[in-house]
Structure 1
Amino acid sequence: MGKKSLKEKIIDTALILFEKEGYHGVTVDRIVEQCGTSKGGFYHNFKSKDELLFHIHDIFISYVIEKAQEAYDRYTTPVSRMCAIIQSFTKVFGMYKPHITVFYQESTYLKGEFEININRKRKQYKNIILQIVREGQESGDFRSEVPAEITVMAVIGMVNWLYKWFHEEGPLSIEDIGKIYVDLIFHALLTEKGMKDPEAQEHLLRNQPVKR
């Protein structure tokens, strides 16, 4: 692995301090002291502490949007698209758990353009999933009696809560949890027609929960 840039070092230091002491409990002076840089080094990379907090969230929300769009473009059915999105969404909690934890603890401090931009990206992600659910309902693969908006919020809420309880040293890997989520969501959402679809069967077989 290559040497980390100063920007990456500042982010890593801020993640530790924000998670431990809270956003308002940490000053720029404290960040640069812990990071071993200067205020000039900090402000060369971030205009403010608010921009740093925005960047922390933007890292992972941009990743999930990219993966969701990749899933939509790569696969051709609502079932396969939903499966790929759930897996990539779950995986982000293994890759960026500190970023996500800090954001959900401190996101109320984002204001102005930072808040607007983050909310826009979160809505963009939600809309990709919403489109897939609606397409699945129109094709008869997903249950139409379940409101699409509520389905989307249930999926996002279930996966989002991982930041509260997932631990890498726990009995299940993030990949194991992703398989469980696919199984739960598909059995709740798919119609009889959807369950019989060969692509759905393939996904369900490939994502059988690990027995412990």
Structure 2
Amino acid sequence: MQRWRCRPTELKEKIIEKSLTLFEQHGYHGVSVNEIVKACGTSKGGFYHHFSSKDELLFVIHDYFISYVLTNAQEAISASTHPAEKMKKIIQSFVKVFDLYQPHISVFYQESIYLKPPYVEAIMKKRKMYKEIIFSVIEEGIEKGVFRSELPVEITGMSILGMVNWSYKWYKRDGGKTIDEIGEIYIDLILHALLTDK
């Protein structure tokens, strides 16, 4: 019997990978657990060993990329002392997520309305943490005279989040710019908007 040839972590990744393809093709409600396990060559037991439900699978798909940007943002504020350097590192990792987790992001934004309330709450908690990190870096930059004091922190922070988040709508791996080049453009735009003459 060929089932369970993958190690547990490999099987989990395979389930996510195959479900992303199926969700993109048929939509979240157009795909059953049976179809996912068939595509993976595993059993329902294999699926439920890693995910309690298809709802949890959709949550994990989102959690992968929000955890990536949150962890990198936390590392940025710990590793750097200058607000501009912190912002640069945060933007670099933020933009990179649209390349690393492109299918995850695409599926999530199409299907997130189907998430159950407990999963929505968990997602919103991490998003709030990420937003607060960006706000805190802007506030620090203003306090140190590095960022322009006339810019409202909340509007500025939400503008950064909105601008970079919209990348999922247009970014293509075979486009004219690499993800790193796009990141540098965002950094240029954002820092030139934030920085004082100092």
Question: TM tier, shorter chain?
Answer: over 0.9
CA distance in 1 between counterparts of 2:194 and 2:113 reads: 33
Matches within 5 A, 1:18-167: 18-167=23-172
Unaligned runs of 5+ in 2: 1-5
CA distance in 2 between counterparts of 1:186 and 1:18 reads: 37
Which runs of structure 1 show a deviation greater than 6 angstroms over 4 or more consecutive aligned residues?
none
**Is 1:9 matched up with 2:32?**
no
Q: Which amino acid aligns with 2:119?
A: F
CA distance in 2 between counterparts of 1:32 and 1:72 reads: 41
CA distance in 2 between counterparts of 1:163 and 1:17 reads: 19
Matched residues, number: 192
What TM-score, normalized by structure 1, do the two folds share?
A: 0.87
Once the two structures are superposed, residues 120-177 of structure 1 have per-residue CA deviations (whole angstroms, 9 ceiling, x without a partner) of: 0010111111100011111111112221111111111111111111111111000000
Unaligned runs of 5+ in 1: 194-212
Q: Which amino acid aligns with 2:24?
A: E
Could you tell me which residue of structure 2 aligns to residue 207 of structure 1? none
CA RMSD of superposed structures (Å): 1.4
CA distance in 2 between counterparts of 1:143 and 1:17 reads: 47
> What is the CA distance between 1:84 and its match in structure 2?
0.6
Q: Which amino acid aligns with 2:86?
A: R
> What is the CA distance between 1:112 and its match in structure 2?
2.1
Identity among equivalent positions (%) equals 60
CA distance in 2 between counterparts of 1:121 and 1:110 reads: 15
SS in 2 for 1:141: coil
SS in 2 for 1:51: helix
What TM-score, normalized by structure 2, do the two folds share?
A: 0.93
